[in-house]
Every structure is written in C-alpha cells, then in structure tokens.
Amino acid sequence: MNYQSQKLDREKCGKDSRILSILESGESILLSTCLWKFSHINKQQERILLITNKNIYNITPQSTLVNFFSKVVSSVRVKRKIGIQYVSGITISKCGFEFVIHVPDEYDYRYSSLDFREKILSTLADAYSKLLKKNLPIFQTDDLTLIPYTTTKVDAKKGICRLHGNPINIDLQTQPNYDFSTTKQPEDNQNQKQQVRSSYDYTKKYKLLKYIYQGMLGQVILVQNIQTDKYYVFKLMQKQDIITTDHLHHAQIERKLLEIFDHPFIIKLVQAFETDDQLIYVLPFYQGGDLYTHLKRETRLKEDRVKFIIAQLILALGYMHDREYLYRDLKPENILLDSNGYIVLTDLGLCKQLQNNNWSYSFTGSVEYIAPEMITAVGYNRMIDWWMLGILAYELIYGITPFYCDNQSQMFESIQEREVRFSTNITISIECKDFITNLLKKEPKERLGYKKDYTELQAHLWLKDINFTEILRKTTQTWKLNLNDPLDLRYFEPEDLNLESFNSIQQDKALIQKFNQEFQNIEFNL
C-alpha cells in the first residue's frame, strides 16, 4: 500500500486481518473512513465505509461486544457488501454533506461525511470507471437532505424508486478529478469572465449603532442613515461563510426576491452592496423584534391576536403563491413585528418557484413544521405552506407545536399518523379548532386551501369578522407595542445585543474569490 492509499485508509482496514480475510482475490483497499449512515426512519448510525477496487462495504465500528464475536466470525462486522458494478449512480447535496449510493437491484444507502465526502466520491467514481470503463452517473441537488432521493428497504419492497433527475455530463477522462463540491469543474470556473467588483464604503452613508442578532451566516446590525436619520438594519454575511456552509444558492434566491417582492407583509430590500469580504443587505428596521421572542415571553397569545397575525400571513403567502413561489420556512423566528403590531415575513432564502403545477421533493424547513408529504417524499406543492400555517396557529395559541416530541423519529411518525389534539386547559372557539384541523389534514387534497388557495382560507368562518382590505391597508385595529423611543430594544434578546464584530476574523481569499465568481449583480438601491 503506497503513501496516498494509507492517507485514504483512515480506519486502517489494510492492517486488520479480519477485514483482509473477507476480501476477494485481487481485491485491494482504496479508502476507509468513519461516517454517518441514515436508516429508513432517518436515524443516524455510525458506520465505517470501505471502498475497494471491486466492492463497497458497510461495516459496524468496533466495540467490545463486536470484537469478541469478530474473533469467532470474521465477517460479523460487515453489515452489507455491494459490488461496484451494481451501483447505478450517486446523488450529492450541494447544500449539505450528504450523498446517496443508488443500488436499484436492492436499495440505496444515504450517508453524511462532514470532512471527507469529496474523497469518498472521487474514489468511488474512479473505481467505477476503471472497473466498468464508463462514467459513474452523478446527480446533484440543492436540497440539504437527500431523503426524497433515497430508496429505502421499505420502498424497495413496495416497488418504489426515488431516484429522479438527470445526471450531469462529465467527460470520462476528467471524472476522477471532478470537483464534487460544485456543479462546475475547476477549469471552467477559472475561465469565467470576472466582473469588476467594487467594495462599498458604507461608513459615509450609515452609522453603525448596535449588533442585535446573531445568525448562522452573520449578524444583523442596527444602523442609522447619516443624512435622513432613519433607522435600518444591515443583514451582514461573510462571503467565506456563505461558501463553506453551501448557502450560496439560498443567498442568491433571497437577493432576487427581496427586490422583486412588493407586499406590505413581506420584507423589502432597501439597498444591497458588498465589501471585499462581506455581502450586506440593508433592510427596514422592525422594532418589535421577532414573533418567537414575544411567544417565549408570553407563553401563548390570545385567539384574537393570533387571528390578526394569521390574516396577514394569508395575504403574504397568497401573494407568493400567485407568483408561483412557495415560502417553505414559516415559523415564529421568521416573522417580525413593527411598533404597531403588524407583521412581515423575512428570510426568503428557502423560497422555491414551482411553475406549471410542478412538484418539489426538497426536505427543508423547521422539523416541527414539516408536512407529511415532505417526510414521505412523494412530492409537494403550495399546500406545504398552509400546513405550516396550521402548525403556527396552534403554536401561537398553545405555546407548543401540535406534534412536538424530543425524539425526531417519533415526531415524524406523529406528523404522519396522529390527528391534532386540542388541550382542554385552554379555551378557544370551535371555528378556530376547525380552521387548524382543516389546515392539518394529512392528505393535501383534503387540506383547506387545496381548491382555491388563499381565498378559501379567507372565507373560513373563523375569519368572518376580518376585513382583509383594511388589514392590507393597515387601517384596522392593531396591538401597539408602546415603543415611543426609536431605540427601545426591549423586544430583542439581551445576549444578542452584546455581540461583537466579525471583522477581525481571518478571511480565506480562495473562498472569497469563489463567491465573487458565482454571485454576480449584487448592488441594488431602492
């Protein structure tokens, strides 16, 4: 075994006599590593993946019990052996660390490897091409998780195959060196024409006042326009973080929709610019903070206030649906409030356009809000948003989502099988219960909104006293938050107000260059 092979044999299978004893004649170890394998109920299992020039092995990591039995039966650790010739392709998540090995004669394997995925895939592709003299079919998707693309053992028994899409076209000679972290080959990226980038000096226009929220990709900063004295927020994201977390596609979608959406209850872009290492969106400042903070402090909201919030969300989601977009990320954290108690939807990165009544198979959003059709991966459409609206209405009234469970697998099972239950300790109207119940129908075709979308929700008896025209104009009665001082930040978490700047972090020039190659036309002024 040469030096390079030793580097790829992380689990030292080449020195394990029990592993070597199960190899076929002429079989040599190419790679071994420890990673996560997912069961058919989405349970993570630690496994060793061993790739040879002929087979793929799924091996249980060593333990005292396994070691004892392995001395008696050398193959006890091998959970499954797959001949490379039986692999029909691999599906890769561009927004996460998962990959699926497709085996149509049996069933698929879904794995996740945080730091070694590209080596695994390039090794497998190389072994496949050398053994079969053809390319390994490669499918790529923006989905964070690959549940919709994985044919489980249960699916196989039912004759269900979840492989869909078309493989990307890669030249046979270049496939072993293909960059599996992107849809474009490295040499293509190098040949792209570079747009002249300009680093915007925002200090001449904006005064930074306070860090008010820490997000996964960056920070939200309260700022003041020096000329007009108006308050805004910077949504500040580090370019290198957008690349390393595979959120480039989401950032591009959000940039587009922040500009084109024009609705009172959807966040609107004021300005967009970049510095050498940051992407910055200038957005309106909503002094009431997010709905999650209000719910956490009040435990639950009164039914009339929930109705007022839901009415606004129906208008916002209906606006998106009219333009063939799904929101897909409804939850209290993504709903901001102004000082008069009106709401606005924010974080548009998970929006997806579905034209001509097409279906989506992405597994995304908050797990407590996931709809049954997303879990079963049969495909979904705009009805996913109305399910999430039902979950939100329930949570605002009861202080907890209807199917919540600490065990995610059990929660997914409840979402698919258990009907919604209403606590007798909290009194709500029959109409409200009916509204929520009909939004949380397991079958999308039975769900409220299936026939006439948002107009069907507006016509429900629970909302008979709502004047949607007045709400849209913001002329109806509201829940004012008594915020007389424009810098009153009582509805923001104290720990978030003590954030410090990221500007001192060492920047990776290669990652910033990759961002600049992929993300063009950032600048915008309202």
As annotated, the active-site residues are: 329
CB atoms within 10 A of CB 288: 24
- Tell whether the torsion through CA atoms of 454, 458, 462 and 467 is positive or negative: positive
The residues near 15 (Cβ < 8 Å, ≥ 6 apart) are none
Instruction: Tokens for 253, please give them.
Output: 């979608």
User: Using CA atoms, how far apart are residues 83 and 72, in angstroms rounded to an integer?
Assistant: 25
Do 95 and 112 meet the contact criterion of CB atoms below 8 Å apart? no
Query: For residue 156, which amino acid is it?
Result: A
Beta-bridge mates of residue 82: 56
Distances in whole angstroms, Cα of residue 183 to Cα of each of 94, 95, 180, 276, 487? 8, 12, 7, 25, 45
User: Using CA atoms, how far apart are residues 3 and 115, in angstroms rounded to an integer?
Assistant: 20
Beta-bridge mates of residue 138: 90
Q: Would you give the DSSP letter of residue 363?
A: B
Do 361 and 389 meet the contact criterion of CB atoms below 8 Å apart? no
First to last CA, the chain: 62
User: Using CA atoms, how far apart are residues 523 and 254, in angstroms rounded to an integer?
Assistant: 13
Helices (H), 161-290: 186-191, 239-244, 248-260
User: Using CA atoms, how far apart are residues 11 and 55, in angstroms rounded to an integer?
Assistant: 17
CB atoms within 10 A of CB 493: 16
> Interhelix angle for 383-398 vs 430-439, to 10°?
140
- Per-residue burial over 65-96, b = 16 or more CB atoms within 10 Å of its CB, e = otherwise: eeeeebeeebebbbeebbebeebebbbbbbbb
The residues near 304 (Cβ < 8 Å, ≥ 6 apart) are none
The DSSP string of 265-296 is TB---SEEEE-SSEEEEEEE--TT-BHHHHHH
CB atoms within 10 A of CB 403: 24
